[in-house]
Amino acid sequence: MLSSSILAALVAVFPSAAPTFYSGPWQNFPAMNTWLSFDDLFNRNKNSMFSTGSTGDDVGRIWNAIVENAKLGVDERVILTIIMQESHGNVGVRTTVSPDGVPTAGLMQCSNCPGFPGRHGLSQDEISSMVRGGTQHFKRNLQNWGDQWAASSIYPALREYNSGSVNPNDLSDARGATRDYVSDIAQRLQGWVD
């Protein structure tokens, strides 16, 4: 039988392929002290970014853009996990359309955000502009939920980022958007990579 310390180390190195589904109010979601460090999360997600066609320079510029835009008051880990959920770090991700008919573009797939569909090898300014647009959008959502760096603000703000509205009693109530969005982000913050 494996000791608990060896098992914990294995889980940290080999994240679960079948994450736990979270739903209900924010209290049902993982505590922030279970989130991995930004460096660890970024390193775990590099291969996913490369697999989309993003170049080594693109990936380095994503790192720079996240660190730069975190100064707006959003944790690097949240910015990164939104990027991975929305585009898997593909700087050339296609522009999509929200259920309301609004174009959503860029690494963070949000309205009024620049996008560069089909392009890779982007400049730092181009990548930073995509991350800035998404980070500013999320910051507004965070402000709607108390603007605190606490799970009580972050998880509802993630729901609002994805669907535009929030049922605080069930953060999986997507109202036409992605039901598992907040749960998926919570898993990514704990190291899950798809």
Domain membership of residue 146 (yes or no) is no
Asked whether residue 151 is assigned to any structural domain, the reply reads no
Q: Report residue 167 as tokens.
A: 């049922």
**pLDDT tens-digit profile, the chain (194 residues):** 444 445 444 444 544 445 789 999 999 999 999 999 999 999 999 999 999 999 999 999 999 999 999 999 999 999 999 999 999 999 999 999 877 788 999 999 998 899 999 999 999 999 999 999 999 999 999 999 999 999 999 999 999 999 888 999 989 987 878 889 999 999 999 999 98
Helix axes 124-144, 151-163, angle to 10 degrees: 110
Whole domain around residue 39: which residue ranges? 28-136+180-189
DSSP per residue, 59-126: HHHHHHHHHHHGGGT--HHHHHHHHHHHHTT-TTPPPEE-TTS-EEETTTTEET----TT--S--HHH
Residue 18: what pLDDT? 53
77 located within any domain: yes
**Does some domain include residue 87?**
yes
Across 106-133, b (16+ Cβ under 10 Å) vs e yields bbbbbeebebbeeeeebeeebbbbbbbb
In angstroms, the CA 101 to CA 123 distance is 29
The reply to whether 110 falls in a domain is yes
Provide the number of structural domains found in the chain: 1
Residue 127: name the closest of 45, 36, 66 by CA.
66
What region does 149 belong to: left with phi over 0, alpha with psi -120 to 50, or beta?
A: beta
Q: Which residues contact 161 (CB under 8 A, 6 or more apart)?
A: 82, 110, 137, 138, 141
Q: Phi first, then psi: what are they for 145, rounded to 5°?
A: -120, 30
107 within some domain: yes
pLDDT of residue 11: 47
List Cβ neighbours of 167 (8 Å cut-off, separation of 6 or more). Answer: 159, 173, 175
Q: Is residue 123 part of a domain?
A: yes
Q: Classify residue 165: in a domain, yes or no.
A: no
Q: What's residue 4's pLDDT?
A: 46
